[in-house]
Structure 1
């Protein structure tokens, strides 16, 4: 098959899908975790794109939950590779962060060699992504938080779990994001797509 195949559709990557969990923002001085809710607002697998909102609750510096809008890149070797090439991320930064995911171990040598372009990610049980917060939705930039960095994300196709690490050279390193898909916003049953002749 010439070129890279696109990942197959995933029932957890649909507009309206919600995820809930925590982001550990602990530093040397304090142990802190925020409750986080994410909702997908858009998804175009063919273009390697998705976007959504992220709501952080119990943020000490904010009186209300903080909501941001983010855009994501799906590492598919067609639209995006494992190398970020922006947001102050070097190739070493990329490999060090991807390496935090156990599911990356089988890909590491290929990524170090050619950016992972030789790897067939279409049928890999995990999808790798970057999520970049673009703006605050409900608070001003003076809320005490920064969105200068971005998340390295590993998404499980089988159960909808999301694991991520926030990267910003000016923030606590390796802030861990752990989310699970929920049934919120979904009703009824979902079926695979069939075309009748």
Structure 2
């Protein structure tokens, strides 16, 4: 799942214009090893459902607008075990990436509809799941869409919405920062098996 992170002085400027800021401010909660936990609401017209979700940042390069990590969905009805995906993120900093996605079947109208659902445009992200880590593509799930994500440097919370034209619209993602895995050293290289 790609991630887009941005800082903007006003939510009325989703055009990607530079508001005088060249890159997001460094934030200790947006770093390698940081973990987040919460839920993704996957409700549809037929049923109300939420999955427990854990996210961990595996790589972070703010200068080049890049984040990556893993996302684990714990109580997926069609899966016998938690479903883990690897995601890559784009930081919306108007230097490397803008508010407009320009790929993954998202139109400028889709971008505007999703970004305007956030209360502010402070530290925004977009992330795209790239592949399943521990299950096959026959698990009954899809990673065709991506997430619009807002990260708060003040409290480490993440709020987002999943976009896939073939899925329930505006599936809400709500995560809070945890201290898990924050003791000791962290390194920016990683390997998934």
1:34 aligns with 2:51: yes
Name the structure 2 match of 1:110: none
How many residue pairs get aligned? The number is 166
Question: In the TM superposition, what whole-angstrom CA distance separates every residue of 1:156-188 from its partner, at most 9, and x where no partner exists?
Answer: 010000000000000000000000010000127
**Is structure 2 residue 104 aligned with structure 1 residue 84?**
no
TM-score, normalising length from structure 2?
0.84
What displacement does 1:4 show? 4.1
Q: 1:94 aligns with which of 103, 111, 114?
A: 111
Q: Residue 142 of structure 1: SS of its match in structure 2?
A: helix
| Structure 1 partner of 2:153 | 157
CA distance in 2, matches of 1:130, 1:6: 15
Larger radius of gyration: 1
Residue number in structure 2 paired with 1:62: 79
Gaps of at least 5 residues in structure 1 are: 105-125, 189-197
Which residue among 156, 167, 182 is the counterpart of 2:178?
182
- Secondary structure of 1:21's match? strand
Question: CA offsets per residue over residues 91-147 of structure 1, 9 Å max, x none?
Answer: 01000000110114xxxxxxxxxxxxxxxxxxxxx2111110000000000001000
Hey, what's the Cα distance between the residues in 2 that align with 1:7 and 1:164? 18
Deviation at 1:79, TM superposition (A): 0.2
The alignment status of 1:143 with 2:160, answered yes or no, reads no
In the alignment, the residues of structure 1 paired with residue 109 and residue 34 of structure 2 have an alpha-carbon distance, to the nearest angstrom, of 33
* Structure of higher RCO (CA pairs closer than 8 Å, 6+ residues apart): 2
